[in-house]
Amino acid sequence: MALRLIFLPVLIFCLRRGVRLPGGLASLIFPPMAIRKIARMGHPVLKGVAKPVPDPTAPQVKALVRDMIETMIDANGAGLAAPQIYEPWRIVVFQAPPERAPEEIGEEEAFDHTAPLTVLINPEIEMLTEEREKGWEGCLSVPGLRGAVPRYTALRYRGVSLAGEPIERVARGFHARVVQHECDHLDGILYPQRMDDLGELIFETEARAWAAAHRPETEDGTEEEKADA
Ligand code: NI
């Protein structure tokens, strides 16, 4: 058990860089993982309300989360919810890297804008503001498209880790956005349903030209990597 906890960061590091662990080592430490097929918009699994996880520490949950992380990293995503791999459970994984935080904010505030790779089971969200901001989103279940989606700019989320320990964090900016996007998946909601102007739903191949023509002032979004979640 402890071995696995120690090696999980190593494994994630290797996956991200496409490095294979030395022969047999990965399978010695971990049962085989799998990159799963991602459900696409229209499949019923994306429309249902996912079920709470009765025991977050169960081995089946760990195996599912490993597949979610591997699938997310393989697809270059910023987040993934279990229903996206046809598993209707209230589990999300996501990350909000420091490079997504605005440059102009102070160190203390920046903390709320970032999150390491996080596994959140049975999440609950409490909005901390009524302010919403539009930002570009993509979704691994809606491939090839981007949309400008209004999201609350600050929230508190609570949930449970794989170890069964409580997680509670304040999230702002992209961090708050990715959490709202992923938790929406657990309630059968895809980002186009959150949009107020479907004229801002575009193909990502057109994103650069569209942004130049429509929103020359925009700084975020259309060309970022890991935009899908
Ligand atoms: Ni998504």
Domain residue spans of the chain: 1-30, 38-214
Determine the Cα–Cα distance for residues 63 and 140; give it in Å rounded to an integer: 21
pLDDT at 15: 52
> Domain spanning 38-214: which CATH class is it, in words?
alpha beta
Using the mean position of ligand 1's atoms as its centre, give its distance from the Cα of residue 77 in Å: 9
Determine the Cα–Cα distance for residues 130 and 139; give it in Å rounded to an integer: 24
Residue 95, pLDDT > 50, answer yes
Q: What percent of the chain has pLDDT over 70?
A: 79
Among the residue ranges 41-50, 55-64, 199-208, 215-224, the one predicted with the least confidence is 215-224
Using the mean position of ligand 1's atoms as its centre, give its distance from the Cα of residue 178 in Å: 9
pLDDT band at 33 (very low <50, low <70, confident <90, very high): confident
Smallest CA-to-CA distance from 25 within 14, 36, 39 is with 14
What is the average per-residue pLDDT within 210-219?
65
Name the helix (H) or strand (E) containing 14.
helix 2-16
Label the pairing between strands 115-127 and 132-139. unpaired
Residue 27, pLDDT > 90, answer no
Of the residues 109, 133, 182, 219, which is catalytic?
Answer: 182
What is the average per-residue pLDDT within 164-187?
97
Specify the pTM.
Answer: 0.81
Name the helix (H) or strand (E) containing 111.
helix 107-113
In sequence order, the 6+-apart residues with CB closer than 8 A to the CB of 218 are 211
pLDDT at 6: 53
pLDDT band at 196 (very low <50, low <70, confident <90, very high): very high
What is the average per-residue pLDDT within 22-33?
56
Mean of pLDDT over the chain? 86
pLDDT band at 71 (very low <50, low <70, confident <90, very high): very high
Residue 215, pLDDT > 90, answer no
Q: What percent of the chain has pLDDT over 90?
A: 67
Q: Is 99 a residue of the active site?
A: no
Using the mean position of ligand 1's atoms as its centre, give its distance from the Cα of residue 19 in Å: 26
Determine the Cα–Cα distance for residues 65 and 8; give it in Å rounded to an integer: 12
pLDDT at 221: 46
pLDDT band at 109 (very low <50, low <70, confident <90, very high): confident
E runs forming strands in the chain: 79-81, 91-96, 115-127, 132-139, 142-152, 154-160, 166-172, 201-203
- C-alpha torsion angle, residues 150, 158, 122, 126 (rounded to 10): -40
In which order are the strands placed within the sheet that holds 132-139?
A: 132-139, 142-152, 201-203
Using the mean position of ligand 1's atoms as its centre, give its distance from the Cα of residue 17 in Å: 23
Residue 29, pLDDT > 70, answer no
